[in-house]
Structure 1
Amino acid sequence: MGTTGKQGGGKAKSPAPKRNPTSKAKSAPNSKVRASAKVYRRRRLVALVLVLLFVAGIAFSGVYVAGLFGMGPAAKTETQQDGNGAAAKPKAADNAGTKPSAVCDEAGIQVTAATDKPSYTVDENPVLSLRVTNTGAAPCDINVGTSQMEYVITSGDDIIYNSKNCQLDPNDLVKNLAPGASETANFVWKVKRNAPDCAPVVSEPGRGGATYVLVATLGKWSSERVPFTLQ
């Protein structure tokens, strides 16, 4: 018996696969990322080159400026001319900020003596002054303590009074005297004689217009002679 219907001798064709419409869209972002990375690297390279050029320009200008002041290899060597057109000799570079250190000049230390009055009556005690002044250009450390002070009163060759003969508890006092600065010490003389080691003295200084001389000393410096009278 025959069969109804057609039987093909060949294989049946399978339906064509459908394309995924999203596959192309998915590949687009990756290409953009790759493109952006290239652009970014290119921009970084350009920026780096600009920075290097800028640094090189600063270094060159720094060397040139140093050369203008005679401090670098680019110092000017061309001969300059003065206002009259004649060749001027190059000036030596000034070493700014290299001032010599200030050193105390002991020759600038001066000691002066004084009395508060030129003449004294019987009921008055002379006030003797010792003044030390730094007349130098630099500060000086000076010992102005009583251990360094000495008031000497004489009459001719006779030493009437020396403040060191009976001095008690001498002390040191170092002060820094700036240029032009002074320190003053006063001492009241009770019109008495004294002797070395504070030995007893019987006689009294004469009065009635007798002239006496004061010399004040501070360490290695002594004053000029200052006369005064006792009435």
Structure 2
Amino acid sequence: MAISDTSSISGLNAATAASSGSNVSQADSEQRFLKLLVTQLNNQDPLNPMENAELTSQLAQMSTVSGIERLNTALSGLVNQTGANQVLQAASLIGYNVLSPGNALSTSEPKAGEEPAAVPFAVQLPATAGTVEVKIVNAAGNTVRTLSLGSMTEGVNAVTWDGKADDGTAAAPGTYSFTVSATNNGTPVEATSLVFSQVAAVKQGASGVTLELMSGQSIGLADVRMFL
């Protein structure tokens, strides 16, 4: 809660400061314009005075500049408010597991007499694939398990690894990576690997709001496919 409160206050202060700066700039511009206009009127040629159309044109230009400055001020406030709302939304994900791009899987030592814990992950496809294969590789680069998943549809497809190697034994506890190969009638289909990781913290920086995961990875809100 402290993170979201601090970010909201900072956003409010920034919006106030931006508004004050814009007001000063606008007032200065109007004063300079009026001073130049009065000087121009005082020094015009009596035999060739400024025409009404020319005067109207100059006033319209000043009105346009003033309107643009007010629009910029309004947009600046809207951007600051949006940033604060994003922080609040992101903070609500702390403690949840989110599904985002990645390819790291972890297994733990099963209890005596029990099967290894299943490891969930997912594959995202831009189109239907007739054949999808996943290779799970250990830290030494050796393939531990090959999963032939058959066909998959467009979108996010849930996958589960039972924690076993190809020979049916439990894979050694540790961290693994996986690759996805997808084709449709012999044509490669670009696949995105997705993994679950718990959200540890939320950070707001110059590039926007990011989620800091327990895996050590930083992702944006747009990278989240699902949370549970």
Please give the range of the TM-score, normalised by the shorter of the 2 chains. under 0.3
Instruction: Identify, as 1 or 2, the structure richer in helix.
Output: 2
Greater RCO (CA < 8 Å, at least 6 residues apart): 2
Q: Which has the larger radius of gyration?
A: 1
TM-score (norm 2): 0.25
Instruction: Identify, as 1 or 2, the structure richer in strand.
Output: 2
